[in-house]
Amino acid sequence: MQLSEFFTENPRVALAFSGGVDSAYLLYAALKYGAQVHAYYVKTVFQPQFELDDALRLAAQLKNQLCILETDVLSCPQIAANPSDRCYHCKRMIFSCIQRAALKDGISLLIDGTNASDDAADRPGMQALKELKVRSPLRECGLTKPEIRRLSKEAGLFTWDKPAYACLATRIPTGSAITPKMLSDTEKAEAYLYSLGFRDFRVRCIGGAARIQVRQEQLSLLISFRRDILQALGPLYDGVLLDLVVRE
């Protein structure tokens, strides 16, 4: 199946929109092929502000209205406790929130940006999507991440080279209860490193300390900003560590 065929068969859809590479291209494609698409962004403590900013910027670029919903994910004990299946419970809660809003808007079909490169075995949240009957056009049409980046670049979308980004909750070790402060400190720490020029990195919270993971080519940059990083992150954490198993 081609995306054009999907949207011909499904001309009115609700889109779970994150502002990332995949959902951005899916919004573009839906509009390109004449679908009426309502995009919904769910704001939670797991998403940093820049994700919402990117979502708003992309929606504005495509001249499509974005509906912003809010939900308290930490009110769910199965999410706050951070078990191994946290992602399942979180996806279930977020997509249920979108479904309720979409149904009020008269839309029964919800789609998301899961692509053909995503491994279902490594993504517990996919079970929630299956249970809620969410469809994934990119995956159904066999579009992989590299192809989506190429098509996004050709379409002039600024998201085409945006690094993959996992939610802030992934910075907390499985089994450690998640608190708003942990998430806030992580967002501040990563925003600071981003301001220094770091890309595709993580600041993980391990036993109260920050464990920084960067790509190999940015190790020298990390060393050059060592004192500044210690000064900025020191008040947020009990210690600041460099993970020598760098991101590849």
Asked if residue 213 and residue 123 are part of one domain, the reply reads no
Q: Where are the beta strands (DSSP E) in 11-98?
A: 12-16, 36-43, 66-70
Asked if residue 196 and residue 149 are part of one domain, the reply reads no
Asked if residue 58 and residue 95 are part of one domain, the reply reads yes
Asked if residue 233 and residue 153 are part of one domain, the reply reads no
Residue appearing with tokens 């149904």: 103
Asked if residue 122 and residue 234 are part of one domain, the reply reads no
How far the first Cα of the chain sits from its last, in Å, is: 33
Dihedral pair phi/psi, residue 213, rounded to 5°: -120, 125
Q: For each of the chain's 248 residues, which pLDDT tens digit applies?
A: 899 999 999 999 999 999 899 999 999 999 999 999 999 999 999 999 999 999 999 999 999 999 999 999 999 999 999 999 999 999 999 999 999 999 999 999 999 999 998 776 557 778 899 999 999 999 999 999 999 999 999 999 999 999 888 899 999 999 999 999 999 999 999 999 999 999 889 999 998 999 999 998 999 999 999 999 999 999 999 999 998 765 55
Kindly tell me the sign of the dihedral angle through the C-alpha atoms of 111, 112, 117, 120.
negative
Asked if residue 135 and residue 82 are part of one domain, the reply reads yes
Instruction: Give me the CATH number covering residue 215.
Output: 3.30.70
Which residues are bridge partners to 39 per DSSP? Answer: 15, 66
- The C-alpha atoms of residue 126 and residue 2 are separated, in whole angstroms, by 22
Residue 173 covered by a domain: no
Task: Note down the domain range covering 74.
Answer: 3-161
Instruction: Give me the CATH number covering residue 15.
Output: 3.40.50.620
Instruction: Please state, in angstroms and as integers, the Cα–Cα distance from residue 129 to each residue in 42, 45, 89, 133, 165, following that order.
Output: 15, 21, 11, 6, 19
Contact residues for 43 (Cβ-Cβ < 8 A; gap 6+)? 52, 68, 69, 70, 71
Asked if residue 97 and residue 36 are part of one domain, the reply reads yes
Asked if residue 34 and residue 110 are part of one domain, the reply reads yes
Q: Which class for 248: exposed (0-12), middle (13-18), buried (19 or more C-beta within 10 A)?
A: exposed
**Domain boundary residue among 161, 187, 205?**
161
Q: For the chain, how many structural domains are there in total?
A: 2
